[in-house]
Amino acid sequence: MNDTAVPEATTVAGNRVILTIYAALVGLAGLMGFLIGIFLEDLQPVAMFGVVDVPPTPVGLAVYGAITIAVVLGVFLGLVMVVSRRA
């Protein structure tokens, strides 16, 4: 049995699973930001990446949470994808 041969369908399905999990985590971060904005009071504005002030509204915190998680996880996901292609 040849262990080095990986069917293309497995690679595509694996990428789809990882991207689905990534999208779900970004959506969950947005939802949590929205809920924090609804239920907590007297919140201060947050600075996204230290540059853009985001208002502490439900929508503002949802955007902040989703974009922050998308960028942080996206960097690591991109690195993993690059390394896995070279392996």
Across residues 30-40, what is the average pLDDT? 95
Tell me what pLDDT residue 35 has.
96
Q: Is the overall model pTM greater than 0.95, yes or no?
A: no
Whether 32 has a pLDDT exceeding 90, the answer reads: yes
Across residues 13-36, what is the average pLDDT? 91
Whether 53 has a pLDDT exceeding 70, the answer reads: yes
Tell me what pLDDT residue 62 has.
96
Q: CA-to-CA distance for 63 and 41, rounded, in angstroms? A: 18
Q: CA-to-CA distance for 67 and 65, rounded, in angstroms? A: 6
